[in-house]
Structure 1
Amino acid sequence: KYYAFLIEVKRNSLSRNSATMKKTQSWSYSVFTLHSLKSTFEEYLEMQAFCEATQQLIDREKHLFWETAEAEANKEAVEKVAADHKALEERVWQILQKSLSLSTEEEVSALTSAVKAINLEEEQDQLWKQRCQTPPAWRPKKWKKHHDEVLQKLVNGRMDNPSSPIGDPVNQSSIEAEIHSMGRQLKEDLQRVVEVVKNCYPPEMDICNFYARQYHQTFSARLKKIADFVLDDKDCSFLLRWVKEFYTDDLMIYIGRVLDEAKKEWDQGKEPTRDDGCNASPVAYDVIQVQLYKEFHEDIIRQNKPHSKAFIKANLSCVEQFRYVSDPKHDLFPENVRENCLQVLTEMKQSAHTYLLTPVHKILKPHYQKVGTSDWLKKNTFEKLLNSTEDELQELQGSSQSSYQELIGQLHQEVTVEYVQRLLKGEVKLKDKDRQLKAYKTVQENAERLHELFGSKQDWLKEILTKIAEVLKLQDIPAIQMQIVSLGSAYPDLSEKHVSALLKLKANLSKADKKTIKTTVLDILKESHTNAETQTFFSKVEVMSRSYPLCISSCCG
């Protein structure tokens, strides 16, 4: 009836030419049009026809800002449009917040209309970007962005306060009950998204994947937060079992993908990512099948590409993390599984150490050859070995700090083995007390300098050299015997050949004295040895007959 009246007003205005009647016509058109649109907007809002209400507001907006110049002249109309926008927005967000608890056909229809309204507003935002005009205060609305934020908060709230708590309070810990409740809520909500919410959205909005991502991120964050607490073994086992049992198919797929991605980066010649200056790999966080990882690890070593060292350093950090979860004290796996896993990890670590340290020994080999010679008693000779070793320590950096310390601890041991092996070769003749005292001071100083260089906690390596140095210094036969006994007691793998080579350095001892010392020492050690766990060292030191050239140990290549 309003439109019929307006048409009649128009007809009357066309038959009159007075300026007064034209003014009356303009006033009547504006007043009754505004009244008609206001009533229609409120009716749409009441019916939750948000799409139609939005279109009404966009039409009024276009009329005020695009089709006429009434925006500045008619502030009342602009303020009214702004107020209606606010009222509409509140109703749209209200229905969005009920997305996962729609109970009637009217609410489902309202959500469908709200989604259409959001897309209409997005289109209007884009149209304003294309116009060279000052937009109204409510533009851009960014409803799509706000839509995502509202649903994200909705998901967080439902996971924080699951509506279907389950669990046995007697037999389950609070953590088990919490995870079960979140899992049930996730399952129920995603089923509702697929069955109901999906039909309210156009396909291009991909709402199912949107919700899946939100729930995955939220649930993962909650599990990580739980895992950050100091959990007992039962809860740790439950977390691992829960993931394995409920995500078995997906877990195997993603395990394969993680390893495939690592292989792909390796094949493309990419360096591993760095974390706090260390080569890092995500494999330890995802890969459970260490046998497959070992195959990849061995392939990297076998191909020996320019970026192999960086990947092996990253692998060392992964091996360390695997060993942590495989530790018997955590009791996370059956004994046979744990033992097999630890064996594989030990082999990986040993092969990584050999791969990284073999080139180091090749560089240090010329300096090893000076030990035990007449040049060795000169200070600058050992200084060259220290300097070269220090340079190589820099090159070995790149794995986690604990993995690096373990690696250079291994190098410290192997360098000490080479040192003792060269010393016992016996090229230098310590014919008198003075030369033996000089050799004592040299070995003592060398032991101290090596310990300082590696900065390791392996005092036992310094102790071995110190005990050998004491043997070189002592002149009294009983004292020599007791010092060698002390060395053999600490390291039961000290053999008769090692004792003979050590005594041979003391050229001022007669054959009879050497035989006496050796016989006494071996008898005492034979009686004192027990089955207690002891450190080994001398089994790695090869003592060859002087008629044959000395062979560098396997660690030197």
Structure 2
Amino acid sequence: MLQTMPFQGLPGQQRVPGALDFPGSPLKFRSGSEAESEASMSEASSEDPVPLPEAEVAQDEEEASKKKKKPKGLAGMFSIFTKGKKKKGQSGAAEREAKPEAQPEAQPGLGGPLPTVEELKADLERGRLEAAGPLMRLERELQEAAAAGGVSEEELVRRQSKVEALYVLLRDQVLGPLRRPLETPPERLRQALAVLAEQEREDRRVAAAEPQPSALAATRPRHWLQLWQRAVAQEAEERMGRPPAAAEGLSEAERTFLSMGRTMKGDLEAVVQRLKPLFPAEFGVVAVYAESYHAQFAAQIAAMAQFELCQRDTYMLLLWVQNLYPNDIINSASLAGELQGINLGSLLPPKQVRLLEATFLSNEVASVKELMARALDLESQRWAQDVAPQRLNGHCHSELAIDIIQIISQGQIKAESITPDLGKQIQHMLLAELAAFLRSYQRAFEDFLERCKQLQNYRANVMANINNCLSFRISLEKWQAPQGLLGPLNELKSHGFDTLLQGLFWDLKPLFKRFTQTRWTASAQTLEEIVSTVETRLPEFSELRECFQEELMELVHLHLVKEYIVRLCKRRVVLKTAEQQQQLAGQVLANAEVIQHFCTQIGSPATWLHHALPKLAEIIRLQDPSAIKMEVATYATWYPDFSKGHLSAILAIKGMSSSEVKSIRSILDVHTGAPEATKALFSLIKVG
């Protein structure tokens, strides 16, 4: 049998610092439009950058101050990194060399002199993100110089190449910490995020401004935010694509699903707990990571679904797509609130999910059918080989019912573990297979009853199979199965009882014959022998379950009452006097009390038989035809199968005229409204 592998909140996951510590080669934040800029940077890095002539710088500053002031937002961003002021008499470059690395130096304000390209390059190479402000100011002034004219195109291109080379350095300093955000000190990460946010605002400002003809190459928007998002996607691909660790008892697909699930859940929890408080809300850091990991999970699931999967992997794929992924990851206690507004969707399209579900149902039903047939075949072999059944609490026990119930239940549980709806679909299919199995079980048991009578453990195996019916019945009631499924079990039980009682009833047959042979003169003695015979044989049935012992005793009770009535109907002597009839009625009543008392003692629940003999005795005793009619009418309400033939046989004892008999028989023509669920008594007795 297949064993399901429950996903218990991604078991075995170890929370370690840096859950998003993505090993491997560093990401290269590179786009096609930046190749030329990088080439320029290479050139600028290989030789000392040439500072702009002071006259040009002064002219640029003067023209810039005449046009318009810089946005306040940019100045505000610069203040994030500025913690002090320059000391008097100390040059910028010398001061930067003198200050320790951990204390960022204050940059000139918007109105102060700009650092040289060489100074900016040195700052950026040291990782000083404070250089972002002056660099953006340098970029703007270059654009203003190009718009104002007066500077040669060649000079503008030379200056822009140096600015772009500096932006390449800045980009790496900004996006580098974001590539391994959990390894980056929080303050450094905040600085990088502030610069990235300011660059995004500058991109939007330039995009919103009216384009003007310029000799400068278009460098905005730079799309650094998209580069970061792309880097997250690349890291998600690398993380989710790692080979899963070896795990005994799991298939490769199961190990892959488990590895991806643990990775995604652990990484997103780290993003929520450690990165979300640091990232600006507009970056949507949780959404970026969640969407990237979801895309990788979906891609690998989709690729796997293209192959012809084995039954076990089909189940596991559906289990992850329909249950574990949405419930244990997306809607887990730690992530549900964060991912609620992010529409990640399903890992597979609905149409493909339905096809996989159809495949699963077909596979599972076929597997259940095969497993049940195999279990019955093994059980039948044990019967034929005369293997004694187990004893459990003093009763004959067979594992067949338990095996079949487990096979059905596991199929049901597997489907329900995917979705409740799939569980409902498979229930009807499994019950249909169970009905077919029970019919096969009944046929195999009847074949055993017929062929294996001489085996030593024959009766024990019969009782074991009767005991099986209880387990089946309880499970069918639990599953709310149609009552029709009980039919084969009832037949099996009935034939089993017949087999067990056959010897006893054979021994009782000559004893019952004495009632007619001795003309009832020694009925008390005969009945005593009958009771004694039954009592002697009772231990033979002790290995039946208690409920089936009661049913068996009811059959014994029914047999005693039935055979007594049979002999009563076969009396050949007519009792014409009232005295003789009352004497016979007294004997029947006394015998009825003996039978009732004995059968109650041995556990028969058949209270419905208590009136069968006493009321017949009353019919025999009564002399008034009207009174007899009333008694017969009442009797027919209790035993609807009491026919005119049976009534005629009883009335024949009284020697009544044909007209009287006909009149009394007519009462049975009136429909008395038979009570529900009546049991057979007189339909078992042939007369005439």
Q: TM-score, normalised by structure 2?
A: 0.41
Which protein is bigger by CA-based radius of gyration? 2
